[in-house]
Amino acid sequence: MRPFSSARLCRLFSGMLLTCFLGLPAPAQQQQQPVQAQPEGISDGVLKLGLILDMSGPYADTTGIGSATAAKMAVEDFGGQVLGVPIEVLVADHGNSPDKAASIARDWFANQHVDAIMDVSGSSEALLVQAVANNRNKIVMLSAPGAERLTNEACTPTSVHYVFDTRSIAQTIGTALLARNAKSWFFVTVDYSYGYDLENDMTAVVTKQGGNVVGRARHPLQARDFESYLARARQSEARVIALANAGADTSNAMKQAVKLGMVPGSQLFAGLSMRINAVHELGTLTAQGMVLSESFYWDLDDAARAWSKRFMERVNKMPNGLQAGVYSSTMHYLRAVAATRTDDTAAVMQAMKAAPIDDFFTHGGHIRDDGVMVHPVYLFQVKSPAESHAEWDYYKLLDTVPGDKAFAPITPSRCPLLKR
């Protein structure tokens, strides 16, 4: 009789599929009861993945074509098919409208037979899409949005917050700067949910550790003129000027800070949602000295450099953490589909939560019951022109914060999925 291969054993014994998928034991808190057996195969003869992104607005450079390319690279590296059916990637531009993002999601799930959404840029957009997906019992993987409420009071059983949240930013940047005696803070905050969450989470860290907030200024999304906000920040004499915004807003603020003679200067700028794309655009002369937190940097190790080189060949830019996270989360999802031999949401979600995440993007990651993907977060400072020796050589590593320190502990969470 022909001996059984490990792959054949996995097909025959459905109760052992997750063990075959994992190879390594999951963290203790992730152990779960086996799901009931699900029908094998892909329900519609094709596995469709969608991304709802900002393709033309203020966050297009940090998500946009780069995030779409990362998802397509993951599909290609997986072989372009799973369980004998092709994998398709759909990309839509929500124009930074939460209502439009939700409408796209509803159409995709109801009419386009999309199986899962691999990212949604913007926290306001993600909150609505996450709710739509939950109503349709569909999976959403979120790399670009940062609002902690996505896995707190708004958590759903079908979503994963993969790259960062506002609390991990606050804990990483706030703790490090306060330890360096940066006690007084002024916030320049974008006037919508993501900005509020950044400011509130950072304020909690600052005040808890003996610092104080001396002022704040709020600006509309896609603001052109930051002079009055920056003038107030300078007059406050705060040690840290925290930019609780993202994308083009952060870049415009820094450009005007240079014109006002604030960079370099005695006040330290913290880019609470700064990405390497913005540093590249600004140049080290403008961005020098800024501190920021990231879950990924292209030059951290050999694996990160190898993947980033491939990405660079396609996009002509180095990836940021959000884009690298899209590749990692898409690959994690596809592996779960292959292991469970179904696109059933419950089975795939359980497989993803049970599986450790160890790849070029992160090491030692795991998905908690509330949907948070816990992993290390890094504190970087932007190099000065003299310290930067090549294009994209922009960061110096100041600290590595373990995942259990960077992300909020699960015990006080308001996520209704957690057992009390």
Kindly state the average pLDDT of the residues 382-387: 95
Helix or strand run (H / E) with residue 312: helix 302-315
Show the tokens assigned to 16.
């052992």
Strands (E), 74-211: 81-82, 85-93, 116-120, 139-142, 159-161, 184-190
Do domains 20-164+301-374 and 167-294 share one topology? The answer is: yes
pLDDT of residue 411: 82
Instruction: Tell me: pLDDT of 4 over 50.
Output: no
Query: How many angstroms separate the CA atoms of 413 and 175, rounded?
Result: 21
pLDDT of residue 7: 41
- Domain boundaries along the sequence of the chain: 20-164+301-374, 167-294
Q: What is the pTM of this model?
A: 0.86
Considering only residues 28 and 303, tell me which one the structure prediction assigns the higher pLDDT.
Answer: 303
Q: Using one digit for the tens of pLDDT, what is the confidence trace for 21-31?
A: 444 334 444 44
Q: What is the mean pLDDT of the chain?
A: 89
pLDDT of residue 30: 42
pLDDT band of residue 246 (cuts 50, 70, 90) is: confident
pLDDT of residue 39: 53
pLDDT of residue 35: 46
Kindly state the average pLDDT of the residues 50-63: 92
Considering only residues 14 and 216, tell me which one the structure prediction assigns the higher pLDDT.
Answer: 216
Q: Using one digit for the tens of pLDDT, what is the confidence trace for 100-125?
A: 999 999 999 999 999 999 999 988 89
Query: How many angstroms separate the CA atoms of 54 and 51, rounded?
Result: 10
Query: How many angstroms separate the CA atoms of 410 and 398, rounded?
Result: 27
* Whether 117 contacts 139, CB under 8 Å: yes
For domain 20-164+301-374, the CATH architecture is 3-Layer(aba) Sandwich (3.40)
Q: What percent of the chain has pLDDT over 90?
A: 78
pLDDT band of residue 192 (cuts 50, 70, 90) is: confident
pLDDT of residue 412: 83
Instruction: Tell me: pLDDT of 387 over 50.
Output: yes
Q: What angle do CA 8, 10, 16 make, to 5 degrees?
A: 155
User: In 291-344, where does DSSP find H-type helix?
Assistant: 302-315, 321-340
CATH number of 167-294: 3.40.50.2300
Instruction: Tell me: pLDDT of 211 over 90.
Output: yes
